[in-house]
């Protein structure tokens, strides 16, 4: 059975919201919750996260540079 089929997804629950995972749920999730861009807000979020990791010695201090490949 294909993983993307409704039958394969029928018994899977989304533990965060208590919803059944089905084609409609996944379609809504991809449209409303995922973002496929990396703008200034996303870059600033990574800078903040990196700063917190440095503060708690999870990452070494370094200068973050963002480049488009």
Query: pLDDT per residue over 8-24, tens digit each?
Result: 555 555 566 666 788 99
CA distances from 17 to 20, 25, 27, 46, 57 (A): 9, 11, 16, 27, 34
Q: How far apart are CA 60 and CA 14, in angstroms?
A: 36
Planar angle of CA 52, 42, 57, nearest 5 degrees: 15
What does the domain layout of the chain look like in residue ranges?
A: 1-34, 37-69
Write down the pLDDT at residue 54.
92
φ, ψ of residue 22 to 5 degrees: the values are: -145, -175
pLDDT band at 1 (very low <50, low <70, confident <90, very high): very low
Write down the pLDDT at residue 65.
73
What pTM was estimated for this model as a whole?
0.44
Question: What are the structure tokens assigned to 29, written together?
Answer: 């999730």
């Amino acid at each position: 059975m294909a993983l993307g089929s409704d039958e394969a997804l029928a018994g899977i629950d989304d533990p965060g919201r208590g919803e059944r995972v089905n084609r409609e749920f996944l379609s809504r999730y991809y449209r409303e919750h995922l973002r496929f861009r990396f703008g200034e807000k996303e870059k600033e979020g990574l800078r903040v996260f990196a700063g917190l990791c440095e503060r708690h010695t999870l990452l070494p201090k370094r200068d973050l540079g963002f480049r488009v490949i």
